[in-house]
């Protein structure tokens, strides 16, 4: 289900997924469901006529996803000062380490800056002292060889 769109005519902001469709509301909420101010990271929640009524035959899943008239998407992001939505990660992918939230995408973005790595998906690895720690899975790019000139 789409809830945001980049303007066909007008300002577009790279790195965002755009503004809410007319008739839709997009907000960012903390774990208690309280709306957060612009620029703060939290769960993306949406409200509008096109939001689902629930999951067929799954009342528990419906109750978790639809709270207070808002659909809790499971996406993590923030609204910039102009109301454009920026997605950061998925809530279920978040790693909690010693009470601090770590988003795998942030770890992966740092690792992508260091060649020859091309892709490092991150997940949580349990640790006794802190709960979880990021655990990237290194993948290397194509083999690189040097050729000597004769």
Give me the percent of the chain exceeding a pLDDT of 90. Answer: 43
Give per-residue pLDDT as tens, 25-49. Answer: 999 999 899 999 999 999 999 999 9
Least confident range from 6-15, 32-41, 96-105, 109-118: namely: 109-118
Asked: is 94-140 a CATH 3.10.180.10 domain? The reply is no
Q: The whole model's pTM is what?
A: 0.64
The residues near 77 (Cβ < 8 Å, ≥ 6 apart) are 28, 41, 42, 44, 85, 86, 87, 88
Give per-residue pLDDT as tens, 56-96. Answer: 999 999 999 999 999 999 899 999 999 999 998 887 766 66
Q: Are 61 and 72 in contact (CB under 8 A)?
A: no
The residues near 118 (Cβ < 8 Å, ≥ 6 apart) are 112, 139, 140, 141
Report whether pLDDT(144) > 50. Answer: no
CA distance 49 to 25: 10
CATH code of 4-92, in short, is 2.30.38.10
* Domain boundary assignment for the chain: 4-92, 94-140
CA distance 85 to 10: 16
State CA 36 to chain mean position distance.
16
């Amino acid at each position: 289900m789409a809830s945001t769109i980049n303007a066909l005519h007008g300002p577009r902001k790279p790195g965002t997924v755009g503004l809410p469709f007319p008739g839709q509301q997009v907000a960012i909420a903390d774990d208690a469901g309280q709306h957060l101010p612009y620029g703060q990271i939290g769960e993306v929640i949406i409200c509008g006529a096109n939001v689902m009524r629930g999951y067929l035959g799954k009342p528990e899943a419906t109750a978790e996803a639809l709270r207070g008239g808002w659909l809790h998407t499971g996406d993590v992001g923030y609204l910039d000062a102009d109301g454009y939505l920026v997605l950061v990660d998925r809530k279920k992918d978040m790693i909690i380490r010693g009470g601090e939230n770590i988003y795998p995408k942030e770890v992966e973005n740092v690792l992508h800056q260091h060649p020859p790595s091309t892709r490092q998906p991150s997940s949580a690895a349990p640790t006794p002292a802190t709960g979880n720690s990021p655990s990237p899975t290194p993948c290397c790019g194509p083999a690189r060889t040097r050729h000597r000139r004769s």
